[in-house]
Structure 1
Amino acid sequence: MGAATNTNAASADDGVRLRKMLATDLPAAHELSDALRWPHRPTDWKQAFSHAEGVVAERDGTVVGTALRFRWGPQDATIGLVIVAPAQQGRRIGHKLMSTLLDGLDSHRVRLNATLEGRGLYERLGFVRVGELRQHQGIAQPAPLVALDSGWRLRPAGASDAPVLKALDAQACGMPRDALLDELLAEAESTVVLDDGGTVRGFGLLRRFGRGHSIGPVVAPDAEGAKALIAHLAGMNAGRFTRIDIDADAGLAEWLEAMGLLRVDAPVVMERGPASQPTAPGAPRGYAIVTQALG
């Protein structure tokens, strides 16, 4: 990763030094996110790091900042887990971390989900707002099943469905993420597919994340299909802490709140580089993301 591997080039005058993130930095990274009350478990950090190139900021031998980038194919990338210790903020550490990550990505479309605090920094680096997320969470309540049209049904995913699910995910998010999907499918407590007369048109996953369970990704051709998938998975997790991060334009917010999953945050989706293409009617669409770091 360009400058991230060049310690001297990434050094700062105030004693802050940037370097490539190593697996041995994960406990310190978890401490940083825990200090901000982010829900990530050590396991969640390990999963993200396994798909990432990361950079850390050190001061007096202590990790005071992190940032990860994820390359998805030759032209797309996401950035996440950009953290600066509260006591070290205001020293432009976040800017240095981001500049290091963006090195070599000038031809890429780069996407991230920005907190209110980080939005100004990202705008100065050339990112523009392209949408919003809605983070919903709470103790899931049993939800009435959503009626599907004749010939449509929900069924458990089988091993032979994996290639189709990876293709649907790539179409929905615009990025090939086969290795990530392989891992998510292997670890999911439940994967359910939306089947139209033998053709898989969508899917959703329920898996462990953070303080409990997370629903996502969810891919479907329309909102009713997404509701059917989410209602089924939330019902499986009824009585337990459940989180889902949805596209704000999906039209699902009020419906989720009726299921006990209240909105707690609204990050802004930002991109830099070539613009994403609009989703064609009837094409697979992402209704819920994996995580805010991974997209």
Structure 2
Amino acid sequence: MTDTLTFDRFTAEHLEGALRLSRQAGWPHRAEDWQMLLRLSRGVVALAEGQVVGTALATPFGGVAMANMIIVDAAMRGRGLGRSLMERAMALEVPEWRLTATADGLPLYEKLGFVACGRVLQHQGLVAAQNAPDGVEWAVQADLPAMVALDRQATGADRAGLIAELMAEGQMAVIRDGAALAGFAALRTFGRGAVAGPVIAASAGDAQRLLTFVFAQRPGGFLRVDTTEAAGLAPWLAAQGLAPAGGGIAMRRGGAAAPQTPFQCFALAAQALG
């Protein structure tokens, strides 16, 4: 492959090349998963002889943006391409940037001003058959604004577009407190099976109830949950048969103090999306 590189805006025509790179990296993303990310994001690709050799996306959530899907072809590494992609993708003025880093990417992100702020823990496996708990039900369309509001409280980001996308692409389980919502969890097809997240709740007990409801819908099915070390759900997830499968390092650049709210994000929508 030549050293002549060009950069271009990431569009649908680059999805096949991006999928090749994520498979090369051992990531489970399907073409449909890339398509969803691209609908929510803006990005850049690096091209060599017309072939995609690098990708980077930036997903804006109001005053917060996620840098994600930063991949460089194995044959092109060690040339500063990852930094070039990041700098181009991050040409977006927001107060706070977030990402989930691999150990390999950590040095680059630190040079770009990101600071580690926690651990992301990936759990996955085949779901054992179990009964759905009382007090949890599927959401209806009218619940969307309340779910967006809870998510904003828990994450400090305006992810209205993401929550609407997840509701359109999958299903949302909710806990009600009278006329109000007290938590929700998303379930959607992803990778090798399905992913549960985000899970937004005011307590670990409510988060477990939401996830148990989701588990009850998929007996024997492959399910992935990305949680955080701080959330404290990892031992419980392992006890449900979802074994640890790696993870990453949560990082931030800029931003304000964490919001003061009883609600917490117990599971991520995806490592790429927080």
TM class by shorter-chain length? over 0.9
Map of 1:154 onto structure 2:
136
- Report the equivalent of 2:97: 110
Aligned to 2:226: 245
Post-superposition shift, 1:278?
4.7
How far residue 244 of structure 1 moved from its aligned partner, in angstroms, is 0.5
Q: Amino acid of the residue matched to residue 120 of structure 2?
A: L
State whether structure 2 residue 148 is matched by structure 1 residue 195.
no
Picking from 78, 81, 90, the partner of 2:66 is 78
User: Do 1:279 and 1:285's aligned partners in 2 also have CA atoms closer than 8 Å?
Assistant: no
Shift of the 276–49 alpha-carbon distance from structure 1 to 2, 3 Å rule, reads: farther
Contact 1:135–1:243 (CA<8 Å) still a contact in 2?
yes
Q: Does 1:288 align with 2:270?
A: no
Provide the C-alpha distance between the structure 2 equivalents of 1:143 and 1:119, rounded to a whole number of angstroms.
39
Q: Does 1:267 align with 2:248?
A: yes
**C-alpha distance in 1 between matches for 2:210 and 2:129:** 13
The size of the alignment, in residue pairs, is 273
Contact 1:112–1:271 under 8 Å retained in 2? yes
Q: CA RMSD in A?
A: 1.6
Instruction: Work out whether 1:29 is the aligned partner of 2:18.
Output: yes
Q: Cα offset for 1:276?
A: 3.9
> Is 1:51 aligned to 2:40, yes or no?
yes
**TM-score of the superposed pair, with normalisation by structure 1:** 0.88
- The code of the aligned residue for 2:114 comes to F
CA apart distance, 1:275: 3.6
TM-score norm. by structure 2 comes to: 0.95
Question: Match of 1:217, as an amino acid?
Answer: P
Measured in 1, the distance between the counterparts of 2:37 and 2:260 equals 27
Residue 133 of structure 1 corresponds to which residue in structure 2? 120
What secondary structure is seen at the aligned counterpart in 2 of 1:264?
strand
Shift of 1:145: 5.9
Aligned to 1:67: 56
Unaligned runs of 5+ in 2: none
8 Å Cα contact 2:184-2:210 kept in structure 1: yes
Q: CA deviation at 1:115?
A: 0.7
- Is residue 161 of structure 2 the alignment partner of residue 179 of structure 1? yes
Give yes or no for the alignment of 1:222 onto 2:203. Answer: yes
In the TM superposition, residue 33 of structure 1 has moved relative to its aligned partner by: 0.3
Per-residue deviation at 1:224? 0.5
Counterpart Cα distance in 1 of 2:73 and 2:260: 38
Q: 1:41 aligns with which of 1, 21, 30?
A: 30
CA displacement, residues 44-72 of structure 1 (integer Å, 9 cap, x when unaligned) = 00000011111001122211000000111
CA offsets 1:157-188 (integer angstroms, 9 cap, x no match): 12211110111111111111112211111221
CA distance 1:279–1:137, shift in 2 (3 Å)? farther
Distance 2:147 2:99 in 1: 23
Summarize deviations over 1:100-145 as a string: whole Å, max 9, x none: 122243x520000001110110001000011111100011113466
1:104 to 1:158, Cα distance in 2 relative to 1, 3 A: closer
Q: Is the 8 A contact 1:213 1:241 kept in 2?
A: yes
Name the amino acid aligned to 2:115: V
Is the 2:156–2:259 contact (alpha carbons within 8 Å) kept by the matching residues of 1?
no
2-structure distance, mates of 1:199, 1:177: 19
What displacement does 1:146 show? 6.1
Paired with 1:146 and 1:47, the residues of 2 have a C-alpha distance of 31
Letter in 2 for 1:67: A
The CA distance in 2 between the partners of 1:43 and 1:61, in whole Å, is 23
Counterpart Cα distance in 2 of 1:205 and 1:274:
26
Q: Judge conservation of contact 1:157–1:191 (CA < 8 Å) in 2.
A: yes
